[in-house]
Structure 1
Amino acid sequence: MLTLNVRPDVLIAGSDEVAMGVVQEAERCKINVPSAIGVLGVDDQPMSANLKIPLSTVQQPVKRMGQAAAEVMLKQISGTETSTETVFELKVIKRASA
């Protein structure tokens, strides 16, 4: 994707780790992040803020998500009716990469 003649304005990676790899490859190809392409990760890993180009990321309430999943699983095991949808608030952490 970094070699395309027409690049997207931003790449949203499925994880901070993948986004870090995209930033490294962009640097290797002499593509400026964020002016030529923005990069956004997911998970707000602790190392994301301490990179050469701090990574913009999406913060998820992972602990609450795990607790909710466990509660649904336990209800299903016991035969209790469960809701099919839970919405969690996400937060975009804006840093230098996007």
Structure 2
Amino acid sequence: MPGGRPGYGSSSRTDAAPGDKWLVGLEVWAPGSTFTWRYYVIDQACDAMQAAELAIRRAVDEVCRRCVRGVHGTGRLEIQRIHDDGIGRKHLLRCF
């Protein structure tokens, strides 16, 4: 479906422009600690939801090994688009 996934808003902040990447933060439980954030740069996603899915797939091995509660030890999710303005400047645009 052009313009994003069904059920999610379509906007310039959730759809990627050519050359854009995504910064996806996952809050995970660290053994003997509290929740901590892990960040992943995703460069092959067409929208924010696909970026989140790819980041979770990348993180699942680390999360299962290092989290006391495994995959269920995840908390919040933060998604930002890394936008290249065409003249070399990068901007973070919050999506979710």
Q: TM-score, normalised by structure 1?
A: 0.32
Query: Of the two, which has the highest radius of gyration?
Result: 1
Q: Hey, which of these two has a bigger chunk of helix by percent?
A: 1
Q: Hey, which of these two has a bigger chunk of strand by percent?
A: 2
